Each structure stands twice: as structure tokens, then as C-alpha cells.
A and B are shown apart, each in its own frame.
Chain A
Amino acid sequence: MVRLALNLVRILFLVAVLLLTATYGMASVQKQGDLWLDPVVTKGEFESTTWIKTNTQSTDHFQADIFGGELIMGMTTRIPIVGGDWANAPDPIANMRDSQQIYQTSSAEEAHALSKQYNLSYVFVPLSRQVFCGFGWVPIDATKFDNNDYFKLQYSNEDVQIYKVA
């Protein structure tokens, strides 16, 4: 009887220690893990990939940031200016710099010239978040894309606009 009680105490002690540690541990796990579960791209951006798949050529290249570019790659296999594996890319730093410049410049002419330099057919413009081209999160100057001499709006929803490079 004493042995049974002793075993029960041992088990209860072990279970209590496990529960306490697990509760504390899972809080720490969630705190760290939740940061990596963020989809970053918005629902509208995700939905726009159906339009991209249907209305663009498989050889078309896209101006996008790293997250938008990988979304486009993942859902449509179209080719973005940045995103993916940079291991063997000829000059990935130049791609990052110029992609960011296309988003940030206020000059439609400069954005257009850079797009042409990289043979980009479309510009993917997220409206509900900043962009990350490799050098930190930056805002977009989107008004220049409304210049019809250089860019033509092809698709739009609450989260994203897609322009064809003229």
C-alpha cells in the first residue's frame, strides 16, 4: 500500500513538473514560432495569381519584391526580378537594388527604363503592405504607375495592382 502511494506521488510529481514546463515551454515556442508563420503576402495578392496564370505568357518576367516574386513563382511559374535562390544568379545585388528603385522612384520614366533593362513585362504593385527587395522594408511610390505612357493597368483588387510595361 505504501509502495503504491509512493509510486502515485512519484507519477503526480512527474506529471506536475511536465505540465508546468510544457506550459512555459509552449509559450516560448509560440512566441518564436508565430513570427515565422506570417504569410506576408495578402489575400488579394494571392487571388491575383489566378489572373496572372490565365492572362500572361509563361515566359513573362515580373517586377515584384522578394515575397511577391516568390508568390508569383510559386503559383504561376512566371519569373520575377528578385526572389528565390540567389546562389548562382549573375548579379543578384543589382536586381535587388533596381527592383527597389522601380518601386521607390517618383519618376515613371526611370521605372520604365529599369523595367525595360530587365525585360520585365509586368509590374506587381502591393497596395496593403511595404515591399522587401533585399535591403529592408520600404514604402512604394505607386502614383508613377498611373502614367499611361509607360504603364497600363491590367488587373486590380483591394490589395494589388498589376501593370503592363508599355
Chain B
Amino acid sequence: MRMYKSIRWLSKARIRDRLNSLDAATALRYGVIVALFILFVSYRLNVLQGYVIPTYGNTLYHVGIERLTLDSGHYPTQELSYNGGFPNFYVPAYRLLVASQSLFSGIDPMVISGLLTITLSIATFGVIYALTKQLAHASAAVCALFFLTLSPELTIFTIRALPELLGLFMLPLTLFFVLANRTSAPFKLNGYVVLSVIAAAVTALTHQMTLLTLALVLAAYALTQIKNKNEFLKAFIPLVTVMVVYALWQVYTLHTVSILGLSQVKYHEGTPVDFLASEVRVGFFERAGLLLLPFAAIGLAWLERNRTNKRFLLYSWIVASLLLTKNDLLGIGIFMDRFLTFFVESLIVAGGIGAYAVLQFLNTRVAGAIERTKDT
């Protein structure tokens, strides 16, 4: 019922009513969204500008598996990489999405990869808006879109045909379904629980680093809600889903749940992240932008002041992704720079809320003071 209500605005009469009742602030908000959307999409069109899609990040390797899936009619169990002849370990969701779109449209999988890059980046734009709005306010969501559009890190991972791009959409989408489920105790198996389970399962089969981030976020959030069985289960059920689905996949492909034998683990693939870049380190401020951190701090302070229960999900996202980004400090040292993307994504949401808090402050204090001065 709640889901029905949330999509009811799609009816023509509702749209007409909304247009008729637009105030200046809402009109400005829509204007900014449109401007940011144009800016965001225009840069992402670059993925299709050349004779081949951008190749950094093994993009054409994924195209190879998609092409082989189309040619053979099934997802390959053996690798094409590194002289082939060993089991294909990579999770299949993104590749099957590309292969299926290619099959239905008849367009080459490389071109479809480029088109899906644009589509998925737009979907990420949408989900960041929806999640931030769910956490705070529509204006905070617009501010988050501003940080998203101007984020070097999120740009780097939304302009190329990568499974991680689907992950950058699926992670906040799963969190959105957890947040949007506002039913009070006792716990009910409603549409949002089903959607969060489906989203978690898809995430588990999309990208290993995304699934690890999602699992840690859900685990941290479940821990913060340990005394509230209803909220605890809303996070715990997708958490179990993500773990079980991935474990089943790995047992199917590698016949083990251990990841210690993987090259990424053995050879510690990844670059450490520091505040500033160097030859051997990725710079946080170069990748996140200078403004994001201070605004994210303001956003967290605003959330803490308003004390809604939802804030714990964002806190969990920030803490979990920060922990993974700095996993070298824990002696693990794998993919620190890749987990940074999810940390920056969480800060974009917090930064949007922070910018909204600043605008609210300016509006109530500064503009109010000007008006009071005029009155006297």
C-alpha cells in the first residue's frame, strides 16, 4: 500500500496538481536538478565517443565474457583471461545484464556496455537523490546531486563500462529499501523487505567489493539496532541474503568459500589512500574534492542534532566504507583505493545534507536578520 502511494504521483492528475502548486523554492529545486542532470550526463556521453569504449579497468575483458555468453548461449565456466583453462570466478550479474540487452536489441555487446554505462550512471544519480531525500529532505537530495556531479572519484567510476558501476547503484538502492520500510514493530515481511532481499542478492552477484561493503554496512546498522528487533531484522535479512548468495556462487565456481588463494589477496592488489596523492598513494582530496569533507561533517552534525533513527544507516555506511578504505592499517592491504569510491559515495549523501543545513541556516538566520533590520 505504501509502495502504491509512493508511485501514485505518476498519475497525470497528480502531476498537473503538482505543477499548479509549484512554489518558487520547488521550481528552483527542479531547475537545479535539470541543470545538474545535463552536466552529469553530458560528460558520461564520452564513453561512446571513440572507436572503442575506454579500456582502463578491464572493460573489454567483460565484453569478451558477454560476447562468449551470447555466442555459446550460456555463462562460461572457464576463463578467457591469462591463457584460460581455469574456472571463471567473476560474479555474473553485470555481464548477464549487458548480454541480455545485447540479445534483445541485436546491438554489439561493446556498444551496449557503453549505453548501459550512461543508463546506470543516470540510475546512480536517481538513487542518490532518493536515498538522501529519504534521509533528510528533497533540497538535501539536490545538494547531494551537486556533490555527485562534481565528484572526481564518482566520475572516474561512472564513465566506464564496469560491474562496479552497477554496484555503485545497487548499494544505495538496497539501503534505500531498508530505509523506506517504515513499518513499526512487529516485523512484517512486506514489499520493501522483498525488494531489499532481491537488491542484496543482485549486489552479491554484481561486484565482490560492493558486496563486501554492503555486508559490512548492513552488519554495522544491524548492530546499532540490536535492541529494536523490527529494525534489526530489516538489515539482518538482506545481510544474510548477500552472504548466502555470494557463498553459493563461490562454492559453485571455485568449490570453496575461502578467498585466501585469490591473486588479489595473495599479491595485495590495490593502492593505499592518504589525504594527499603521492607516487604510491591515492589522494583523498584529489578524488573526493576539497569541499566534500567539511560539508559531510556538517551533514553528520545536522543528522545528530535531529536524532532520527535513520541516521544510523548513513553512519554505518560511512564507518564501514572508511574501515575498508583504510584496511591497510589493519594489515590487510587489499583494494583500498577501490573501497574509497564507496566511502566518497557515502560522503556525497552526508555532504548534501550538510549543504542543505548550511542553506537552511543562511535562510533562517541571515535572511531573517536582514528582514528584521528592515522592519526596525
A135 at the interface (CB under 8 A from B): no
Q: Is the CB of B83 within 8 A of A41?
A: no
One of A32, A74, A119 near B286 (C-beta < 8 A): A32
B82 is contacted by which of A6, A77, A89 (Cβ under 8 Å)?
A: A89
Which chain B residues (335-360) contact chain A, with CB distance < 8 Å? 359
Complex CA distance for A7 and B370, rounded to whole angstroms: 12
CA distance A32 to B82 in the complex (A): 30
In the bound complex, CA of A41 to CA of B58 (Å): 13
Is there an interface contact between B56 and A40, defined as CB atoms closer than 8 Å? yes
Chain A min CB distance to B347 (Å): 15
Contacts of B84 in A (CB 8 A): 61, 79
Q: Which of A39, A67, A73 contacts B51 (CB 8 A)?
A: A39
Whole-angstrom CA separation of A80 from B291 in the bound complex: 44
Q: Does the CB pair A38–B54 fall under 8 Å?
A: yes
User: A68 CB to closest chain B CB, in angstroms?
Assistant: 10
Closest to B36 in A: A22
A46 proximity list for chain B (CB < 8 A): 51-52
Q: Which residues of B contact A22 (CB under 8 A)?
A: 39, 146, 149-150
Q: B289 near A: Cβ within 8 Å?
A: yes
Taken residue by residue from 30 to 42, chain B's Cβ proximity to chain A (1 for < 8 Å, 0 otherwise) reads as 0010010001000
Q: Which of A33, A74, A85, A93 touches B155 (beta carbons < 8 Å)?
A: A33
Contact A77 B64 (CB under 8 A): yes
B71 to A79, Cβ gap below 8 A? no
Do A38 and B56 touch (CB < 8 A)?
yes
Interface residues of B in 234-275 (CB under 8 A from A): 254, 261-264, 267
B54 to chain A minimum Cβ distance, whole angstroms, is 5
User: How would residues 136 to 163 of chain B score, 1 for a CB under 8 Å from any chain A CB and 0 otherwise?
Assistant: 0000000000100111110110011000
**How many contacts A-B (CB < 8 Å)?**
175
B90 within 8 A of A: yes
The answer to whether the Cβ of A126 comes within 8 Å of any Cβ in the partner chain is no
Q: Which residues of chain A come closer than 8 Å to B291, judged between CB atoms?
A: 21
Complex Cα–Cα for A40 and B326 (A): 31
Q: Which residues between 87 and 110 of chain B lie within 8 Å of chain A, taking CB atoms?
A: 87-90, 110
A39 touches B55 (CB 8 A): yes
Determine if A28 and B374 form an interchain contact, defined as CB atoms under 8 angstroms apart: no
Q: Do the beta carbons of A87 and B90 come within 8 Å of each other? A: yes
Query: A residues within 8 A CB of B359?
Result: 14
Closest to B269 in A: A86
A77 to B351, CA, bound (A): 43
Contact A37 B61 (CB under 8 A): no
CA distance in complex: A40, B55 (Å): 7
Within 8 A of A (CB), among B39-55: 39, 43, 46-47, 49-55
- A54 part of interface (Cβ distance < 8 Å): no
Residues of the A chain whose Cβ atoms lie less than 8 Å from the Cβ of B53: 39
Interface readout for A50-82 with B: 1 if CB under 8 Å, 0 if not? 000000000001000001001101110111111
- Nearest chain-B residue to A88 (Cβ)? B89
A71 lies within 8 A of B289 (CB): no
Number of interface residues of A (CB under 8 A): 51
**Using Cβ atoms and an 8 Å threshold, which residues of chain A touch B370?**
6
A90, B84: Cα distance in complex, Å:
10
Q: Is the pair B150, A26 in contact by a Cβ cutoff of 8 Å?
A: yes
Measured CB to CB, the nearest residue on chain B to A81 is B83
Q: Is the CB of B24 within 8 A of A7?
A: yes
In the complex, what's the smallest C-beta–C-beta distance from A37 to chain B, in angstroms? 5
B371 at the interface (CB under 8 A from A): yes
**Residue numbers in B under 8 Å from A21 (CB-CB):** 146, 150, 291
Is the Cβ of B146 less than 8 Å from the Cβ of A18? yes
Taken together as a complex, chains A and B put the C-alpha atoms of A83 and B63 apart, in Å, by 13
Give the contacting residue for A83; candidates B61, B68, B289; CB below 8 A: B61
Determine the residue in chain B with the shortest Cβ distance to A2.
B374
A95-B82 contact given A21-B150, A28-B150, A77-B68, CB 8 Å threshold: yes
Flag whether A25 is at the interface (Cβ < 8 A).
Answer: yes
What CA separation (Å) do A43 and B55 show in the bound complex? 13
Question: Are B39 and A88 touching (Cβ within 8 A)?
Answer: no
Whether a CB of chain B sits under 8 angstroms from the CB of A113 is no
Binding site for A on B (CB under 8 A): 24, 28, 32, 35, 39, 43, 46-47, 49-64, 67-68, 71, 79-84, 86-90, 110, 146, 149-153, 155-156, 159-160, 254, 261-264, 267, 286-287, 289, 291, 359, 363, 367, 370-371, 374
Given A39-B55, A84-B58, 19 extra CB contacts under 8 A: A6-B367, A18-B146, A26-B150, A32-B152, A33-B46, A36-B156, A37-B54, A41-B52, A70-B61, A73-B60, A73-B81, A74-B60, A77-B64, A83-B61, A84-B64, A85-B58, A85-B89, A86-B263, A86-B264
Instruction: Supply 11 A–B pairs (Cβ within 8 Å), ascending by A.
Output: A25-B150, A36-B156, A46-B52, A70-B59, A80-B83, A81-B83, A83-B82, A88-B263, A89-B263, A92-B82, A95-B82
The 7 A-B residue pairs whose C-beta atoms are closest, nearest first, are A84-B81, A74-B60, A25-B150, A73-B64, A74-B63, A32-B152, A89-B82
